[in-house]
Amino acid sequence: MIASFLEWFGLGETYLHIFMAIALLVGSIRFRQLSPAQRLLSLLVMLSVLSEVLVSTKIFTNNMPIFHLYTVGEFCLIVSIFYVGRKDFLPKTIFRILIASFLLVAFGNVLLYQSIWEMNSLSSSIEGIVLVGLALWYFYDLLERLDMPNLGKSFMFWFATGVLLFFVSNLLFFVFSSSIVASQWQTENGQEIVLVIWPMFTFMNILLYLIFSIALICKDSIPSPKSFWSAP
């Protein structure tokens, strides 16, 4: 049963591309009506589509540099959305520290630990931990302030939900599976396990872009901090 279920996921990549295209389309069509935070999300979707296109077209023999750059771009954009999208949520100093520290970690990782041609698991994990923390902090803040009368129509709620679902499952999939893969890599199961994880990862990606599309449809009226565009 599991195998047949996973077979369904064989089509996952195609579905993912459809959902990415939907998010891109929604963001592009509504770009003029979007709030600054939503525009940043739209940029994030564009960045994802661009990296996906670059990876799919196989222009480069090794795609790892794209992942390195994408991780940095993704982190900066998501943190910026949290900063811009919710008033008085992320202080400017913390925002700057987060961006600067992550840039330092990403470049340090490339220079000292995982080269640009290797999978950037360290910076990806740190990215996941920080973003999950931000999403949880956002939910706590929302519960404390109770300033959103209708969660279903809130762009930031959908955005934070997407971030939380994607990065938690992402982190746990890899942490959980890497230990099994490491112990069983030499056995028959080793490579099959990777084939199981990948469709699940794709499924979470599909869910993420579905949620991002909903977030881009929402009418967001939260004003952004005045100094944001000159902040970084």
Partner 1 sequence: MQGLDPIAQIFLVSTLIMVSLVGFIIFFVVVYQRRLLQQQRKMREQEAAHQRELLSASIQTQEKERQRIARDLHDEIGAMLSTVKMKVSQAKRRAKGDESLSPVLVETTDLLTDSIKNVRRISHALLPPVLDKFGLHAALKDLVEKATTEEGTRVRLQIDGEPVRFPQHQELGLFRVSQEVLNNALKHAQAKLIEFRLTFRPEQLSLEIRDDGVGFDWEKKQAESSGLGLKNIESRVLTIGGKWQAESKVGKGTRVQIRVEMGEK
Smallest CA-to-CA distance from 134 within 75, 176, 174 is with 75
Q: For partner 1, give the closer residue by CB, 116 or 193.
A: 193
> What is the binding site for partner 1 (CB under 8 A)?
2, 6, 139, 142-143, 146, 148-149, 151, 161, 164-165, 168-169, 172-173, 176-177, 180, 184, 189, 192-193, 196-197, 200, 204
- Which of residues 21 and 168 has its CB atom nearest to partner 1 in the complex? 168
Tell me whether residue 98 or residue 218 sits nearer to partner 1 (CB atom).
218
State the Cα–Cα distance between residues 63 and 232, nearest whole angstrom. 29
Tell me whether residue 29 or residue 180 sits nearer to partner 1 (CB atom).
180
> Could you tell me the smallest distance in angstroms from the CB atom of residue 171 to partner 1?
10
> Minimal distance in Å, beta carbon 18 to partner 1?
20
Tokens coding 181: 């893969």
Tell me whether residue 152 or residue 221 sits nearer to partner 1 (CB atom). 152
Nearest-approach distance from CB 118 to partner 1, in angstroms? 24
Q: Which is nearer to partner 1, 55 or 148 (CB)?
A: 148
Q: How far apart are CA 75 and CA 97, in angstroms?
A: 13
Please report, in angstroms and rounded to a whole number, the separation of the first and last CA atoms in the chain: 51
CB 180 to partner 1: min, Å: 5
Neighbouring CB atoms inside 10 A of 148's CB total: 14
Paired tokens of 75: 């982190």
CB of 137 to partner 1, least distance (A): 13
**HSE-up of residue 163 (Cα within 13 Å, Cβ side):** 29
Provide φ and ψ at 17, rounded to 5°: -65, -35
Burial state string for 203-231 with b = 16 or more CB within 10 A and e = fewer than 16 = bbbbbbbebbbbbbebebebebbeebeee
